[in-house]
Every structure is written in structure tokens, then in C-alpha cells.
Amino acid sequence: MAKLESTFKNMLMSLLFISIGMSAALGFVYSLTKGPIEEANKQKEVQAIKEVLPEFDNDPTMDVKQVDGLNYYTATKSGELIGYAIKTYTDKGFSGHFTLMVGLRPEGSIHNISVLDQKETPGLGTKMKEPKFKDQFNEKNPDSFRLKVKKDGGQIDAITAATISSRAFCDAVQRAYDGYKINCISAVDSVQPDTTMKLKGGAQ
């Protein structure tokens, strides 16, 4: 009986040491790959920002603002604001969650859109990445352009046999624009009164 007990303890100890060893190995691999993965993700976002906005000369990723699940990147050229790139999302896709990068000019018109991550049906929902669909949004201002598919009373031609993906795409773009109005326009407007007061104070 003692022999059996000893064998059982040995098995437990062996499993314990193996688990500790595997955990240590996984932790080591994670520490090695964490940096490169983060850098790759950053470069992917930088490339997407370049795709959706006019040419800029600052690094928008250095001062990113995160609000309610959206990332806001401010782009400038020679110190002048040229637009905002907004990383947005929707959970209404045929396969659930997907993310976009939406480029908005300072006055709110859409410059371009890039699909960052999606798991929609190949050959159908994945057509959201094609210019025929996504370029419909370019040069449009959501204040006067309805970001809905025509079946829902909007102005967007849905992808054939992929209405759900098309609606989800519109939802993500609308979310970006709504966030822009709250977190970009409001931020600029809130500064203007103080600037005016300073100018008046200087004149006096």
C-alpha cells in the first residue's frame, strides 16, 4: 500500500513540475513575442491611418484618445489639422464583431475607409473591402448623407446577398461619425470661447 501511495505522489509531483515548466515556457515565449506583436499591430494601424486620410507629417499614434471603445487619431500637416482617423467597430456583422478605420476631414466629410479586421462570409461579406462598396462613402458628409442601405431608406447600395454585412458596415461608420461629433468637434468648440476671451483681454 505504501508503494502505491509513493507512486501516486510521484505522479502528482511530476505533473506539478511539468505544469510549472510549461507555464514558465509560455511566459518566456509571451515575453519574447509581446513586443513584436504590439509593434506589428501599431504598424497596421499606422498604415490604415495613412490609407484613410490625406498626407500628414505628425505621428497620430503618439496622442491617441480612447473613448467608449473607439480610438481617435488626430492628423496634422505643418501644424495644421487635416483630419481624424477613427478606429470604430460593430457587433452587427453576419459573423459578429469587425473593425474599421474611418478617415474624416475636419468638417466631417469621409475621406476614406479601411477594413481592419473581419470574419464575414468569404465571397459575400468580405466584399466590404472592395472599392465598389466602400468607396460609396467617400466624399460624403453623414450630416446630409444617410448611412443606411437603400432597403432601410438610406443611400448605400448593399453588397449582393450580404445585406447584414452592409448594414453592419454602415453601423460602424455611423458610430465613428457620432463619436467625431462628440469628441472632436466638441473638443475644438470648447477651446474657442477661452481663445476669444484672451484676444479680447489682449485688446483691452
Give residue 197's pLDDT band: very low, low, confident or very high (50, 70, 90). Answer: very low
Distances (CA, A) of 107 to 80, 103, 110, 194: 14, 12, 9, 21
Report d(CA 70, CA 65) in Å as an integer: 8
Residue 14 confidence (pLDDT) above 70: yes
Residue 24 confidence (pLDDT) above 60: yes
Summarize pLDDT for 84-116 with one digit per residue, the tens.
Answer: 999 999 999 999 999 999 999 999 999 999 999
pLDDT of residue 7: 74
Q: Are 115 and 87 in contact (CB under 8 A)?
A: no
Indicate the domain borders of the chain. Answer: 1-36, 51-191
- Rounded to two decimals, the pTM is 0.74
Report d(CA 177, CA 28) in Å as an integer: 42
66 strand-pairing partners:
71
pLDDT of residue 193: 41
